[in-house]
Amino acid sequence: MDMKRAMTIAGSDSGGGAGIQADLKTFQELKVFGTSALTAVTAQNTLGVQGVFPMDAEAVAKQIQSVGEDIGTDALKTGMLFNAEIIEAVAEKIKQFGWEKVVVDPVMIAKGGASLLQQEAVSALKNHLLPLCLVVTPNIPEAEVLTGMTIHSQDDKKEAARRIHVLGAKNLVIKGGHDKDANESVDLLFNGENFEVFSFPRVETRSTHGTGCTFSAAITAQLAKGLTVYDAVSVAKEFIHSAIANPLNIGQGHGPTNHWA
Ligand code: PLP
């Protein structure tokens, strides 16, 4: 059976809603073979992050090497990378294997406020990883950190998109989920020339833990299957909308994404 492969380079969420667990569940649901390189272990549940334990950069590089030299991958995504050493190690391996279908979810801060990327690592992300990526998927706060600007309007989003493109990302999606005043959740895709808008009605729910991870994993799975960036983002947007619209009743806090959606 011809099976496409997708790799996630990300942190573990013991609560199963975000991180490596979300990515592998999404790969499984979208019928690609998932592999992983763990960057950190988080002690976490629906109430928040209780502990963060990063891996050595060498251990991250070694996992990617093991997957790359035997199994290979048709596409990969990065999630929580935590520090500059890990970012540099990941960038080195992507270059070594010549991987091009690279999706970077620039994970910075969990919804509960825990830091998943050290502040001094932001420049490593911009300098080493963004130039290697096919798609980067910041939410509004992450786009603000990457560009140094404040985003209030759709025009601000477009300006931020232009600035992130200049950093080297070939395509980018600025996700509208944090745009709390809007009735629609509007994602903006930019390929350096054209803007495309993906809009779905906003769903009021607390069960959004891991939606960013799941969205970028869904894009990665579709790229692994050979879809164009536009089609991959379009299918992933439908997948994540359906996940948010069908929340699971799990845990006492911010419930996990429904990966069967
Ligand atoms: N924990 C890990 C390990 C993650 O990779 C991510 C991804 O963004 C999160 C938590 C974020 O969770 P939340 O969706 O609650 O912000």
Q: Where are the domains of the chain?
A: 5-245
3-state DSSP assignment of residue 161: helix
d(C-alpha 103, C-alpha 111), whole Å: 21
Q: Which atom of ligand 1 is nearest to the CA of 79?
A: 5
DSSP state of 130: G
> How crowded is residue 69: how many other Cβ atoms within 10 Å of its Cβ?
10
Angle at 7 between CA 235 and CA 144, to 5 degrees: 65
Which residue is catalytic, options 133, 175, 177, 237? 175
pLDDT tens-digit map of 216-238: 999 999 999 999 999 999 999 99
In total, the chain counts a number of residues equal to 261
Residue to mutate, 20, 80, 125, ligand 1, most ligand atoms under 8 Å from C-beta: 80
Domain 5-245 CATH class label: alpha beta
Residue to mutate, 49, 105, 107, ligand 1, most ligand atoms under 8 Å from C-beta: 107
- State if residue 210 touches ligand 1 by the CB under 6 angstroms criterion: yes
- State if residue 176 touches ligand 1 by the CB under 6 angstroms criterion: no
Beta strands in the chain (DSSP E): 5-13, 33-45, 48-54, 75-78, 102-104, 135-136, 171-174, 184-190, 195-201
d(C-alpha 115, C-alpha 117), whole Å: 6
Beta strands in 106-221 (DSSP E): 135-136, 171-174, 184-190, 195-201
Give pLDDT, residue 181. Answer: 66
Instruction: Indicate if 133 belongs to the active site.
Output: no
Residue 75 CA to ligand 1 center (angstroms) comes to 21
CA distances to 67, 78, 134 from 3, in Å: 15, 21, 22
* Res. 110: pLDDT tops 80: yes
Written as six digits, the tokens of 53 are 């334990």
Give pLDDT, residue 185. Answer: 86
> What average pLDDT does the chain have?
95
Q: What percent of the chain has pLDDT over 70?
A: 99
Q: How do beta strands 48-54 and 75-78 pair?
A: unpaired
pTM: 0.97
